[in-house]
Structure 1
Amino acid sequence: MSSVHAYAVLDRVERFHGPIFSVVTDRVSMPGGGQADRDYVRHVGAVGVVPLDDDGRVLLVRQYRHPIGKVLWELPAGLVDVAGEPPPDTARRELAEEADLRCERLDLLLDLHTSPGFSDELIRLFLARGLSAVPEADRFERSDEEAELTVTWVPLDEAVAMVFRGEITNAAAVAGVLGAARARDEEWRPLRDPETPLVR
């Protein structure tokens, strides 16, 4: 039985550092004794929420994304950028900030490496049920791109169809919609405790 090569980082050069991500070049040991440079993005991480109401509808967000210059269908989501905040709390915060909703039940749906060919970003997706509106006085004031954010309730099966028609292309939204539909069809058995540790 052959052993798996340990891809040791021999050196790291930071090319850019910002509040959300940094860009680095790692010198990595390769099988056979060689070395190679690998450029990639180190990301703070994110959470996303699939809000599902009692009528089987999912809440989708329409938001402008500058890197591709388009408005996309997405899920409520946000960065893991509050020190010490557990991911379920981040999910509840983002649900309130982007969708003006609270939830009675939050389950872990899935973990997703969004683009592991060039980034270490991982987004943890939760399924939120038992939804209610955040009182008007407690609602978050959105700014910048989020000031034009709109939300739409879509039957979950129609959201699945939107994925296959190429209308939903955001990776987290695609995974969340398909994952929620599969979990529903399996009577929610695939869902996990929201505090489940990440598999490293």
Structure 2
Amino acid sequence: MPADPLSWETVESDVAYSCPGFDVVTQTVRLPDGSETDFDYLSEPASVCILPLTDDGEVVCIEEWRQAVSRVSRGLPVGTTEPDDDDLEAAAHRELAEETGYRAETLEALVTVEPANGLADSVMHFFVARGCELASEQQLDHDESIRASPTDYEAFLESMREGTIRDGRAVLAVAYYELLSQPKRSSD
């Protein structure tokens, strides 16, 4: 099968910078017109984002210090997959427990997206966790400052509408959840 006429050819690829969590990859690419240019992108493992819901109508949100924006951000539990994860659901259960201390009765896949594919190879898998209950203490990484904060789901949704919750992963999770929760429109 011939390549798409929009595709770029990778001529050379190197890791320019590496740190725990991600690499910065620099490439020389050949464009469709035959010219060459440099392209840099962020490379990181796949991650999971969990929308944890309790039977009492709450969402278990997290409040976490985000150094890049110099403030506490309200959002949802998110974490990268580990090489020894048996599957994505195992990663979602682990991240929920580590960041919040909650466990889910059930977990269902919501959507998988590439949230920033113009500058990163990130793939994020979203899950809805239902029947969430506090089961243990948080097990935070050494560089995490997280507070679990169960919040009424409607109040959480209103905070998004008002723009006080700005975490893109949380907004995307709730937007998909709301979209897929609505009755399907019939085509006339």
TM-score by length of 1: 0.81
User: Deviation digits for residues 104-129 of structure 1, max 9, x if unmatched?
Assistant: 21111112323222211121110000
CA distance in structure 1 between the aligned counterparts of 2:113 and 2:6, rounded to whole angstroms: 24
Instruction: Kindly provide the CA deviation profile for residues 1-59 of structure 1, in whole angstroms up to 9, marking residues without a partner as x.
Output: xx533322111122111231111111122122122211111111211100012233211
Q: Secondary structure at the match of 2:104?
A: strand
CA distance in 2, matches of 1:87, 1:22: 22
Supply the RMSD in Å over aligned alpha carbons: 2.1
Mapped to 2, the partners of 1:132 and 1:153 lie a distance apart of: 10
State how far apart, in whole Å, the 2-side matches of 1:168 and 1:59 are: 14
Match of residue 72 from structure 1? 73
1:197 maps to which residue?
none
Give the aligned partner of residue 92 of structure 2. Answer: 91
Letter in 2 for 1:172: R
Residue matched to 2:146: 149
Deviation at 1:156, TM superposition (A): 2.5
Paired residues in the alignment total 182
Q: Which amino acid aligns with 1:171?
A: G
Matching residue within 172, 184, 194 for 2:181: 184
Letter in 1 for 2:124: I
* Change in 2 beyond 3 A, CA 1:155/1:179: farther
Query: 5+ unaligned residues in a row in structure 2: which ranges?
Result: none
**Which whole-Å CA distance do the structure 2 matches of 1:65 and 1:159 have between them?**
19
Check whether the contact 2:100–2:138 (CA below 8 A) recurs between aligned residues: no
Instruction: Tell me which of 149, 171, 193 is aligned to 2:168.
Output: 171
> Which ranges in structure 1 are unaligned for 5 or more consecutive residues?
188-200
Contact preservation (8 Å) 1:46, 1:79: yes
Q: Deviations over 1:51-107 (max 9, x none)?
A: 012233211100001122111011011111243431110000011111111112111
Alpha-carbon contact 2:26-2:39 (below 8 Å) kept:
yes
Aligned-residue identity in percent: 25
Q: Is the 8 A contact 1:39 1:118 kept in 2?
A: yes
**Distance of 1:94 and 1:18 partners within structure 2:** 21
TM-score by length of 2: 0.86
Deviations 1:120-163 (A, max 9, x none): 112111000022321x4xx34435453x4212222323222212
